[in-house]
Amino acid sequence: MAAGTEVTPATGAQQETAQSRKAPSRFWAKVRYQLLNVFAGLAFLYLLVPIAVVILFSFNDPPGRFNFTWHKFSTAAWQHPFATPGIQDAVVLSLKIAFLSTIIATILGTLMALALARYSFRGRSVTNFVIFLPMATPEIVMGSSLLTLFISISFNRGLTTILIAHIMFNISYVVVTVKARIYGFDRRMEEAAMDLYANEFTTFRKITLPLIMPGVLAAAMLAFALSIDDFVITQFNAGPDITFPLFIYGAARTGVPVQVNVIGSMIFLIAIGLMAVNILYQNYRGKRDAIAISGAVRKAQLAEAT
Amino acid sequence: MSRVTRLFRSAPAYPLLLPGMVWLAIFFFVPMYYLLDMSLRTGNLLDGFNQVYRFANYGDAIRQNKEQFIRSIIYAASATALAFCISYPLAYVIAFRGGRYKNLLLMLVIAPFFTNYLIRTLAWETILADHGIVTSTLRHLGVLTATDKLGFTSGQRLLATPLAVVTGITYNYLPFMTLPLYVSLEKIDKRLLEAALDLYANRPRAFMRVTLPLSLPGIFAGTLLTFIPAIGDYINAYLLGSTQTTMIGNVIQSKFLTFNDYPSAAALSFTLMAGIMVFVIIYARILGTEDLA
């Protein structure tokens, strides 16, 4: 009892000092809280203003060759996006390389991801390191070393060499993306299929592949984006061929046509559209699953009640 | 388990790995050997390049381009520091206050990647142009006079200055910094912060003792993912800089593609690669984390 009366005033005093220390800082805490939000807002502005500039200047009608100052609103370039000589060939070549390199890199990378996520084997950590290295090497080193190889063995540069390079740097990104998905899924699904006398191939086709498909698709989209955007490695290994980024580089010093902004905006809008569709679909699936689960729960409850 | 049975059990892994590993071996590792081999040769395009194991190529190349090497390190380090200062609060706000808008906000972070690298760098050329709003506003406010004195800009303009190049590099690699930071911040158990606050830590102290140390893997990954591509970059220096802002990437590119001085270019490229490797190892020791993925 005596101990109790001793303790209470002491803690009361402690609380008081804690409060008196906090009271004046409450205002500043709020300011600090809002300050961080304002800062984040400014960061978003920094990220998005250049994109707005790209889209805005696709509607410009520049007086000279340089599309750097705003002159007059025009939709001419949007009506004729391929009016500049050479630009269509460049875009077609970029798309061709992106499609081919995506398909090959996705297949090779997915197989490696399966091996790494599924099996424990000798040389696992070495394999992981080998896959990690291209992602940690500056593009200029990869580009120049590949160029040196092609020069040394007198291999003509062009579509083939660009393709080889793009597959090389895409493999690692595919492995990492698909691996993340494989780690997230329930192995018992496959065991169940095997228990039901499905052989390994059927199990893979009917269970494993559909389950990892979202990861494979995400990896393929990433590979496509990396390929169509790549400049450095492509410049070193393109030879006389001109991809869309190389076309822009060539035009940069003599004046970039408005069409470049139009095609850049198109790629941006298509990519954003695909992302939005993906997010909406995920939300829809989440809701659908939630409804299905709550329905099942209700059924179970009803069964229990009767 | 005997060695034979272990090999047998892991056998299915090897055929799955083989095609990808062969591709990486031939087109990533073999080229590195050829790069090293080329860096020790002498000669020119017409007479061919002969292997003479001239290690002095390295000394010559580094000595002649010391300025560009130092400039690349300064620019890349500045851009990495700037990207960190912008990204940490940004990632923090998304991870802790994003709520159900997290995915949308993350999409905005990677939105720049959906426009072509060169196009978005050219957009900075428009923004920083001599007669643009940004430059004239900063000029009227006297900011450019101050930055001119500091050597960040020159001649009352933004374009073709170190500041423009660093701005471009920071912008282009910002998502590489923000995403790993976000991932590590998002993982933090909020109850740990509550525990710190319950134990009478004030907010800054709780941040310093709990949030910051737990986000260290993100800081490690983010700074490396920004610094490594930044130090080899030559697009920003080419489009936003001048002859006074050339980086080592510009030298390697022009030696390879314009002057056909392959041995010297290969020596520079190999030096860059080796330098980065040494840096990564030291950096990993200092930050005490070897978990890159």
A157-214 pLDDT, tens per residue?
A: 999 999 999 999 999 999 999 998 887 777 788 888 888 888 878 888 888 888 888 8
CB of B124 within 8 Å of a chain A CB? The answer is: yes
CA distance B60 to B66: 10
| Cα of A99 to nearest chain B Cα, Å | 17
Mean pLDDT of B173-184: 94
Is the CB of B10 less than 8 angstroms away from the CB of A232?
A: no
Is the CB of B235 less than 8 angstroms away from the CB of A50?
A: no
Q: Is residue B117 very low, low, confident or very high in pLDDT (cuts 50, 70, 90)?
A: very high
Is the CB of A231 less than 8 angstroms away from the CB of B118?
A: yes
Q: Check if the beta carbon of residue B287 is closer than 8 Å to that of residue B222.
A: no
Statement: residue B36 has pLDDT above 70 = yes
Is the CB of B119 less than 8 angstroms away from the CB of A261?
A: yes
CB of B224 within 8 Å of a chain A CB? The answer is: yes
| A243 three-state secondary structure | coil
Statement: residue B84 has pLDDT above 60 = yes
User: What is the predicted ipTM?
Assistant: 0.89
Mean pLDDT of A287-301: 75
Supply the pLDDT for residue A202: 85
Supply the pLDDT for residue A2: 39
- Within 8 A by CB and 6+ apart from A278, the residues are none
Q: If contacts are CB pairs under 8 Å, which of residues 145-204 in chain B contact chain A?
A: 171, 174, 200, 203
Supply the pLDDT for residue A176: 92
Statement: residue B178 has pLDDT above 50 = yes
Supply the pLDDT for residue B124: 95
| Cα of A304 to nearest chain B Cα, Å | 35
| Cα of A5 to nearest chain B Cα, Å | 24
B48 phi and psi angles, rounded to 5 deg: 90, 165
Q: Is residue A24 very low, low, confident or very high in pLDDT (cuts 50, 70, 90)?
A: low
Statement: residue A16 has pLDDT above 70 = no
Q: If contacts are CB pairs under 8 Å, which of residues 70-109 in chain B contact chain A?
A: 86-87, 89-90, 92-94, 97, 103-105, 107-109
CB of A290 within 8 Å of a chain B CB? The answer is: no
Q: Check if the beta carbon of residue B156 is closer than 8 Å to that of residue B148.
A: yes
Angle at B149 between CA B146 and CA B151, to 5 degrees: 110
Mean pLDDT of A267-278: 87
CB of A236 within 8 Å of a chain B CB? The answer is: yes
Is the CB of B174 less than 8 angstroms away from the CB of A133?
A: no
pTM score: 0.87
Which chain A residues contact residue B30 at CB under 8 A?
149
Q: Is residue B85 very low, low, confident or very high in pLDDT (cuts 50, 70, 90)?
A: very high
Q: Is residue B234 very low, low, confident or very high in pLDDT (cuts 50, 70, 90)?
A: very high
Query: Would you mind telling me the total number of residues written for chain A in this entry?
Result: 306
Statement: residue A12 has pLDDT above 60 = no
Statement: residue B4 has pLDDT above 60 = no
Statement: residue A7 has pLDDT above 50 = no
The shortest CB-CB distance from A145 to any of B32, B114, B171 is to B32
CB of A53 within 8 Å of a chain B CB? The answer is: yes
Q: If contacts are CB pairs under 8 Å, which of residues 102-121 in chain A contact chain B?
A: 108-109, 111-112, 114-116, 118-121
Query: In this structure, what is the dihedral angle of CA atoms A104, A107, A109, A112, given to the nearest 10 degrees?
Result: -140
CB of B234 within 8 Å of a chain A CB? The answer is: yes
CB of B232 within 8 Å of a chain A CB? The answer is: yes
Supply the pLDDT for residue A22: 52
More confident residue, B140 or B5: B140
Nearest to A115, CA basis, from A170, A171, A167, A164? A171
pLDDT tens, residue by residue, B138-150: 999 989 999 999 9
Residue B49 parent element (H or E)? strand B48-51
Q: What is the largest CA-CA distance in chain B?
A: 78
The shortest CB-CB distance from A267 to any of B7, B37, B116 is to B116
Mean pLDDT of A125-136: 92
Residue in A closest to B101 by C-alpha = A279
Which chain A residues contact residue B174 at CB under 8 A?
46-47
DSSP H stretches of helix in B28-161: 30-39, 56-64, 66-97, 102-110, 117-127, 133-140, 143-150
Is the CB of A48 less than 8 angstroms away from the CB of B111?
A: yes
More confident residue, A10 or B136: B136
Give percent of chain A above pLDDT 90.
52
Mean pLDDT of chain B: 90
The shortest CB-CB distance from A40 to any of B13, B90, B292 is to B90
Is the CB of A132 less than 8 angstroms away from the CB of B292?
A: yes
CA distance B6 to B4: 5
Supply the pLDDT for residue B132: 85
CB of A66 within 8 Å of a chain B CB? The answer is: no
Q: If contacts are CB pairs under 8 Å, which of residues 71-100 in chain A contact chain B?
A: none
Statement: residue A19 has pLDDT above 70 = no
Supply the pLDDT for residue B10: 60
Mean pLDDT of B182-192: 91
Mean pLDDT of A83-112: 95
